[in-house]
């Protein structure tokens, strides 16, 4: 085994990177859990996209899932930098972008050489194809929706630390002006506040 072929072992350890480190959490969330949820949501947004915004650029659902699976892979090097720090000022943000790019390159180098080209297009996307760019927008929106769901979970648990974050993130979601996002908010979000028994009751109804 090449000493560089440890990409999958690194992905396995994404479960140890905690999110929301500056907030009091009633239930901790790790990057691996978050990644899977973003992939679920991105897939749903891509599937609904042609139905709620016909005539717009097509976003391939499989591409959206692949981009979602690796959207936070740089955090294996950088850790999860809290949003208030990341956006504290332009200098810090620019430095973070530079660090993130270097981290992504390091992660690409951990991939078996025969597979690097295939993975690099998702880890370090360079395509200007409109369909690919639409997929990137969808993944960004799915990432934000996942954060919004986390806020709802924490509020439901009585944690006031997430009240302001919920309002800020909801405004951000509306600011995307994406029919796919509005569809998810209108059609799917309410169910996240239901208990398991209440969800089962929906089936009986």
How many Cα atoms occupy the beta-carbon half-sphere of 32 within 13 Å?
A: 10
**pLDDT value of position 1:** 46
**pLDDT value of position 201:** 83
Q: Are 4 and 109 in contact (CB under 8 A)?
A: yes
Tell me how far CA of residue 189 lies from CA of 19, 40, 174, 181, 199, in angstroms.
Answer: 21, 14, 14, 10, 13
Tens-digit pLDDT profile for residues 8-65: 999 999 999 999 999 999 999 999 999 999 999 999 999 999 999 998 999 999 999 9
What is the spatial distance between Cα 75 and Cα 86, in angstroms, rounded to a whole number? 13
**pLDDT value of position 65:** 98
**pLDDT value of position 205:** 59
**pLDDT value of position 66:** 98
DSSP 30: B
Domains, the chain, in order of start with CATH, read 7-195 (1.10.3210.10)
What is the spatial distance between Cα 24 and Cα 21, in angstroms, rounded to a whole number? 8
**pLDDT value of position 3:** 57
Q: Are 147 and 19 in contact (CB under 8 A)?
A: no
pLDDT < 70: residue spans in the chain: 1-3, 203-205
């Amino acid at each position: 085994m090449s000493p560089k072929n440890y990409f999958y072992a690194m992905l396995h350890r994404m479960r140890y990177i905690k999110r929301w480190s500056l907030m009091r959490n009633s239930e901790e969330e790790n990057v691996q859990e978050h990644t899977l949820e973003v992939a679920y949501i991105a897939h749903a947004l891509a599937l609904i996209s042609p139905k709620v915004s016909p005539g717009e650029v097509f976003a391939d659902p499989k591409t959206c899932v692949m981009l979602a699976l690796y959207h936070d892979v740089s955090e294996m090097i950088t850790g999860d930098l809290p949003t208030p720090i990341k956006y504290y000022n332009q200098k810090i943000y620019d430095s973070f972008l530079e660090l993130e790019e270097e981290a992504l390159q390091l992660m690409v180098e951990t991939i078996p050489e025969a597979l690097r080209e295939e993975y690099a297009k998702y880890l370090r996307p360079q395509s200007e194809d409109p369909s690919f760019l639409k997929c990137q927008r969808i993944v960004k929106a799915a990432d934000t929706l996942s954060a919004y769901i986390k806020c709802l979970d924490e509020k439901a648990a009585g944690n006031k630390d997430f009240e302001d974050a919920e309002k800020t993130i909801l405004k951000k979601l509306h600011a995307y002006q994406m029919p796919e996002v509005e569809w998810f908010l209108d059609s799917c979000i309410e169910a996240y506040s239901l208990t398991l028994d209440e969800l089962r009751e929906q089936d009986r109804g």
